């Protein structure tokens, strides 16, 4: 059976981008067709300036939102990264096959490091090495498929490269994974800045739809989305990023095709109105289920405890094998 692994960082409140690009697929076909693990990757949230209490709070919230979005602990494994030591254990070994040049070429490192410097902060070493830890997250489980938005494809490529390199040098140890992205909404853009990705740790709040936004807030944000001065509604991601983003969101929420949908509208106002309603309807069940789960924190804790136990047992043999292959003496 195909092994699937993916994760989400507790760096902010989950967004529509996270949902359409990743989480919705995890809860849909991924958990049904495969042996899947989904993880709140909390160690990754420590790579930029962070508040410990907030990371803890967001980790709990992310886990409960994953369940609210439909992940079923009977079908898949849901857990928190820092509860399974194997991730950090394997990360160090993979640092010994990765190069510093490879890390410095990562687009997200360049962008996030620039942002930290702009804010007058220093860049944590873990921000540079984060893709190696992500490779460890993936490789520890013998993962075949990594369902992600397309901003993560470079990192999954790195995981592939490290797996191939390790296997060549030290003998076959890792399955070589591949990224899978959705056909539409693989990169949902910020509604106020449609040339930038909608990211949960970004500052442009009015352009970000959060999964827990009230319906009226969602409507307001979508109705105020930046478009352009064009008169016709056409789907052109490059030249017309604002309308294209709305069309992709609408298509992802209703199951249509962005280019076809464009033909059905003669004004941006009507497009925005339908998009807003489609988003409200897609998010409604997630918000409602999340409210129910908030009333039962013991349930979420239990899922995470059991998830960590299962994940540990799955990761251990591969990480032990990597330790032996690279030359570390097994404990007596």
Q: Is 142 annotated as a binding residue?
A: no
How remote is the C-alpha of 9 from its chain's centroid?
7
Closest-by-Cβ residue to ligand ATP is 21
Q: Tokens 């797996």 correspond to what residue?
A: 163
Query: Token digits for 110?
Result: 């360049």
Of 176, 140, 144, 141, which Cα lies nearest the Cα of 158?
A: 176
Check binding of 69 to ligand ATP (CB under 6 A).
no
Choose, by CB under 6 A, the member of 3, 160, 197, 290 that binds ligand ATP. 197
Q: How far is the CB of 168 from ligand ATP (least distance, A)?
A: 28
Is 197 a known active-site residue?
Answer: yes
Check binding of 157 to ligand ATP (CB under 6 A).
no
Q: Is 199 annotated as a binding residue?
A: yes
Q: Is 17 annotated as a binding residue?
A: yes
Q: How far is the CB of 208 from ligand ATP (least distance, A)?
A: 9
Q: Is 52 annotated as a binding residue?
A: no
Q: Is residue 14 a contact partner of residue 200, using CB atoms and an 8 Å limit? A: yes
Check binding of 78 to ligand ATP (CB under 6 A).
no
How remote is the C-alpha of 218 from its chain's centroid?
21
Is 238 a known active-site residue?
Answer: no
Check binding of 199 to ligand ATP (CB under 6 A).
yes
Alpha helix (H) ranges present in the chain?
Answer: 16-18, 24-25, 31-33, 52-68, 86-95, 100-104, 107-118, 125-139, 153-170, 215-223, 241-254, 258-263, 268-294, 297-326
Check binding of 160 to ligand ATP (CB under 6 A).
no
Check binding of 152 to ligand ATP (CB under 6 A).
yes
Is 200 a known active-site residue?
Answer: yes
Beta strands at 178-180 and 145-147: parallel, antiparallel or unpaired: parallel
Query: Token digits for 238?
Result: 């490059």
Q: Is 310 annotated as a binding residue?
A: no
Q: Which is nearer to ligand ATP, 17 or 131 (CB)?
A: 17
CA angle 13, 113, 49 (to 5 degrees): 50
Contact track, ligand ATP, 14-33, x by CB under 6 A: -x-xx--xx-----------
Q: Which residues bind ligand ATP (CB under 6 A)?
A: 6, 8-9, 11-12, 15, 17-18, 21-22, 148-149, 151-152, 186-188, 197-202
């Amino acid at each position: 059976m195909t092994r699937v692994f993916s994760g989400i960082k507790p760096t902010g409140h989950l967004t529509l981008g996270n949902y359409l690009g990743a989480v919705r697929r995890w809860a849909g076909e991924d958990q049904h067709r495969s042996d899947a693990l989904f993880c709140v990757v909390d160690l990754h949230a420590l790579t930029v300036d962070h508040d410990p209490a907030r990371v803890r709070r967001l980790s709990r919230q992310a886990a409960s939102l994953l369940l609210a979005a439909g992940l079923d602990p009977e079908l898949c494994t849901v857990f928190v990264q820092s509860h399974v030591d194997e991730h950090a254990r394997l990360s160090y070994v993979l640092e010994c096959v990765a190069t510093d040049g490879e890390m410095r070429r990562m687009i997200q490192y360049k962008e996030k490091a620039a942002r930290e410097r702009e804010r007058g902060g220093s860049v944590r070493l873990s921000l540079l090495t984060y893709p190696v830890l992500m490779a460890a997250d993936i490789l520890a489980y013998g993962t075949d498929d990594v369902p992600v938005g397309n901003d993560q494809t470079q990192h999954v490529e790195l995981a592939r490269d490290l797996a191939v390199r390790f296997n060549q040098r030290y003998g076959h140890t890792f399955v070589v994974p591949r990224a899978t992205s959705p056909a539409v909404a693989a990169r949902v853009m910020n509604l106020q800045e449609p040339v930038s990705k909608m990211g949960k740790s970004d500052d442009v709040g009015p352009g970000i739809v959060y999964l827990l936004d009230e319906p009226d807030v969602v409507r307001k944000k979508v109705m105020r989305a930046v478009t352009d001065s064009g008169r016709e509604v056409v789907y052109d991601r490059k030249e017309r990023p604002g309308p294209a983003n709305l069309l992709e969101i609408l298509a992802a929420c209703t199951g249509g095709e962005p280019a076809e949908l464009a033909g059905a509208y003669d004004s941006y106002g009507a497009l925005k109105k339908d998009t807003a309603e489609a988003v409200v309807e897609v998010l409604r069940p997630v918000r409602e289920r999340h409210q129910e789960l908030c009333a039962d924190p013991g349930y979420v804790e239990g899922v995470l405890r059991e998830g960590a136990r299962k994940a540990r047992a799955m990761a251990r043999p591969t990480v032990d094998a990597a330790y032996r292959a690279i030359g570390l003496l097994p404990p007596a």
